[in-house]
Amino acid sequence: MTAGAGTVRWGILGPGRIASNVARDWASVTGGELAAVASRSSERARAFAEEFAIPRAYGSYEELLADPQIDAVYVATPHSFHRAHGLAVIAAGKALLMEKSFTATLAGAEDLVAAARAAGTFVMEAMWTRFQPAVVRLRQLIADGAIGEVRNVQAELGVSRPLDPRDRTFALDLGGGTILDLGVYVVSFAHLVLGAPDRVSVSGSLLPTGTDAESAYLLAYEDGRAATLSTSFLAPSPGMARVFGTEGWLELPPRFHHPDRVILHRPDAAGRTSGEPEVFHLPPRGAGYAHEFDEVHDCLARGASESATMPLEASLAVQTILQQAADDLGVELYERE
């Protein structure tokens, strides 16, 4: 493929599972070209490039970052490498889309944000949920007063995942556990609706590998608003999110982090459900990854260094809560070089 005028030329750093999902959905992306992929294994990079018709494959991350024909880099390595790889992308002068969670630790997130702002380089966390059409409509409905004053948010994500110490999901040194894998979704959604909380309470349990098996969060606000959130590798759950207001509530059906509709419920005079809910069917393009890339392309075209929908301050606020969850539960999160 040859990039046309205005086309953003992308490199993928870390051809793992999530990168494969993104590459598989690339036909839904507009204004971007998948131009290169890099792995620490030349063989793995070539196999990924062949599978997804990517022109160039590199056996080191340094080669990708030195490629002058790459405008932006999507980093999809394990959480604990995000700080180091993000700093390398910024130092190379390329735009960065960082797979969630933004980093493994709050200190790592602060380092990354400071570097991005010092360099004036575009950086965004790849929180695709915020760009899903149904979630965009949910925010519009809230802003329009469809449910009155928002008072409470509920969100949960649970899967049944047998313990396998060899799997990244359970590896402490790779950022395993529900906090970074699932907690980032529920916490980011609550932050999107309510903003940063005044107090955070966390409970949960740990696995023999030192990662958390389940986490529950209560985000409290001085004016009485609250968010109740939960994640689990032990108990499967629907993956539902609800936003409750003084005049009704909004529902994102499973799985809420990439929904195809938002449902508006209004109460009757007695405060109970009244009649049929109003359903807004808004499926994403393809599998839903395209929308976050659209945001990057739009920001780069405007010369913006941050996204208004997923700003760096939001990533820092979410990382603050995730760090507290880890600290409270005794999970040792750390960054790798």
Enzyme catalytic residues: 100
DSSP letter assigned to residue 330: T
The angle formed by the CA atoms of residues 142, 297 and 123, to the nearest 5 degrees, is 80
Residue with structure tokens 């996204």? 307
First to last CA, the chain: 33
Prior bond of 40 cis (ω within 30°): no
CA distance 221 to 228: 12
SS3 letters for 40-109?
CCHHHHHHHHHHCCCCEEECCHHHHHCCCCCCEEEECCCHHHHHHHHHHHHHCCCEEEEECCCCCCHHHH
- Residue 246 tokens, joined: 């003084």
Reduce the DSSP state of residue 126 to 3 states and report it: strand
Q: Is the dihedral of CA 268, 273, 279, 283 positive or negative?
A: positive
Backbone angles phi, psi at 16, to 5 degrees: -95, -155
DSSP letter assigned to residue 286: T
CA distance 238 to 215: 16
DSSP 217-266: EEEE-TTS-EEEEEEESSS-----EEEEETTEEEEEPSSTTS-SEEEEE-
